[in-house]
Chains A and B, each alone.
Chain A
Amino acid sequence: MNLILKGFESFGLYILLLRRSFTGLLRFRLYWNLWTHESIQIGRDSLFLVAIISLFTGAVTTVQTAYQIVSPFIPKSTIGAIVSTSAILELAPTITSLVLAGRIGSNIASQIGSMRVSEQIDALEVMGINSATYLILPRLFGALIFFPILVIYACFIIHIGGIVAGALSGAVNPTQFVIGIRSFYEDFQIIFMLIKALTFGFIISTVSAYQGYYVRGGALEVGNASTRAVVISCLMILIADYVLAQLLL
């Protein structure tokens, strides 16, 4: 019972923090520097990690799909179709976001949490600056802009990984793979992928910021908040993933 009440309390605080982070905006340039800094951290610094994970995800999905298609009556291009559809609808947005929840979510929570325990957030408030707006808004917009870009990038790399693995294993040649991609492609799949990317970016940035913002104590609590940010973000991503699939497909 206590856990449920605590859950409701946390959700209420989360909503209030979100509302507060959209009020009391000061000068644009104050947020611009922070936004560019956050964007670099979310975007540029994640490119390599996302590329590696996507490449192997695409390769493994292709090999495993080929392994499951044993009937000679199913054309090889089906492998490309299955890998591509999986990549667009699920692998690129969800796997990328789960990975970024670990990298970016923990980073946001520990940064804001450290500012809380070292009284930097108090210093902002005493200066008359809305700390929620100052700390959360640039991170939220950084995530909303760069998550879709990263997911599109991941999707592209998954396809590359699939094509390469298909060719190397002899399961499907690149031409058949591309025929498969084209045969089942619909524009809505890309829209669905971008909706997921935006949703997951929102979840990671705001849940992590919330965990950091309400830290009480010292370094140990900052570490705990960072872990909680990752765990809750991942959980929320999986729930949102199911809800979006149910609603939009």
Chain B
Amino acid sequence: MSQLRIEHISKWFGRQQVLHDISFTFQPGQVNMIIGPSGCGKTVLLKCIVGLITPEAGRVFFGNVDFLQANPESRRMILQNLGMLFQSSALFDSMTVEENVAFPLRVFTQQSESEIRERVAYCLERVGLAGTQEKYPAQISGGMKRRVGLARAIALNPKYLFCDEPNSGLDPLTARRIDELIQELTEEFETTTVVVTHDLKSVVDMGQRILFLYEGRSEWQGDKTDMLRDPHALPANLRAFLEASGLMRDW
């Protein structure tokens, strides 16, 4: 299983520092969650990890390779082992569902067209969307788009799976289905999964290791069981975050 850790990540946008010296080790083969209120820097941190934003300081290790310092070839190798589900699904709207899922396979593998079609059918079936191959993203619902995004993310059997607010804007049933899928795929493919969310229901349902960010700082990190065992021992901001979600009422 694949190790992922970040060390002393800091990021500025102009004069504003949005991430302050964040370090964390993500547990391989588990669902790791980056949580916190809106605007706390969760998505910026995720984008720093996958290389979409370059932090001013810090290091990101995929296995033993420092991703930020790696040469282009090593970076590409790492990226090919990485699947990402975007908040907006980020499906290519000029392509059908099948072409979207097949896209990474066509770019990075030598598979024949029949093998690619077979793999696409498997991935779509895995996310419960068998038979939607010919549809365009504009013809399917938001929840289906997320699932197609997941199918595309797992097409290459990634070692790392990143999800940015995977169930935001979805109805509760669809949101739960997406959470279940992420959990199932993490177990099936033994991926190191990182989920950014402010939905504590998702944290309770599938989170294992938690990183809580507040105003760009790492305020708390640990296992979900530790967080839920004794909320009163948690930092005030995390406690307030949990209280606001209504989860504290259950304890």
Interface on A for B, CB 8 Å cutoff? Answer: 24, 26-27, 29-30, 37, 114-115, 118-120, 122-123, 125-129
Contacts and interface: CB of A to CB of B under 8 A. Distances in A.
Contact of B107 (A26, A114, A122): A26
Contacts of B94: 37
B105 to A, nearest CB: 11
A118 B104 contact: no
Given A24-B72, A30-B106, A126 B88 contact: no
A199 B234 CA distance: 64
A118 B90 contact: yes
Contacts of B90: 118-120, 122-123
Interface of B: 47, 50-52, 72, 75-76, 79-80, 82, 84, 86-88, 90-94, 103-104, 106-108, 162
A116 to B, nearest CB: 11
Nearest to A111: B94
B93 to A, nearest CB: 8
Given A30-B107, A122-B86, A128 B80 contact: yes
B76 A123 contact: no
Nearest to B81: A128
A120 B52 CA distance: 12
Main secondary structure of the interface of A (DSSP, over half): helix
Contacts of A123: 84, 86, 90, 92
Nearest to B152: A123
A125 B51 CA distance: 8
Nearest to A127: B104
B86 A127 contact: no
Contact of A127 (B87, B91, B107): B107
Contacts of B162: 126
A125 B79 CA distance: 9
